Amino acid sequence: MASQAIRTMIALDPVISASCILSVIGLSLPVVVPPIRNAMSGSEPVKPPKLSEVVEGMRGSGSRS
């Protein structure tokens, strides 16, 4: 019964159906891609900087190289 409703929705509103499909793909990518990327790289993942370091960098305080 659900498959018939999906087929009807695709036939009547193809733009909305394509939008739903793209949104599902877009929402699933952040969950799927990082583990694959980490498994493919041989090195340790790079840790993001601390928030305090980012704030210091934006304010211009701290040592400059």
Within-domain flag for 65: no
The reported pTM is 0.51
| Inter-residue contact 17 to 9 (CB < 8 Å) | yes
pLDDT tier for residue 29 given thresholds of 50, 70 and 90: very high
Within-domain flag for 47: no
Report d(CA 17, CA 10) in Å as an integer: 6
pLDDT tier for residue 60 given thresholds of 50, 70 and 90: confident
Within-domain flag for 9: yes
Instruction: Tell me which residue range forms the domain holding 11.
Output: 1-40
The strand ranges marked E within the chain are none
* Number of domain units in the chain: 1
Within-domain flag for 58: no
